[in-house]
Amino acid sequence: MVMLTGCSEAQPPTLAMATQNLVTDGEELLASYLIQRVGQFRITEKAEKDSDTACVPGSKQRFFRAQANFLNPERPDPGAAAGAVQAQLGVMSYDKLVDDLDFWDNDLSVAVFHKPESAVTFMVAARITEPHILIVGKTDCIKPEE
């Protein structure tokens, strides 16, 4: 007797799983050597509460936010700071969705990265005004488990 099994797509993460991915990846990002060389980050939000502001009715998302000033404020380099975050997110298997070329400006660098299997997106903005570096991570909009 032969038994055949079909392949099925992996289930998308629940909001709880995506939130765990968000916090774990956010902490890993901030703890990385590359990131610690550009600024001393302070977490300002750690996915504590649901938000439905940008979601379709019935779905929610969570946010992870951190900010820092340049370690060397006399020589501000938004491009280098954003590049360090981009490099680390690439190492963490995030896909680049948007980068500096879309917002070309010497005083502002922006990048957006997404990892579909974890339902998490990270955005980084580095600029010459304080706080110099902003990192915002968010889960996809997901309907909470019943």
DSSP assignment of 58-106, as one string?
T-BB-EEEEEE-BSSTTS--HHHHHHHHHHHHHHTTPEEEE-GGGG--T
> 3-class secondary structure for 12-32?
CCCHHHHHHHHHHHHHHHHHC
Residue 46 in tokens: 């750690």
pLDDT digits (tens, 9 = 90+) for 118-133: 999 999 999 999 999 9
- Quick one: pLDDT at residue 31? 97
- Mean pLDDT for each 10-residue chunk of the chain (146 residues)? 54 93 98 93 96 91 96 84 92 87 70 95 93 96 82
| Predicted structure pTM score | 0.87
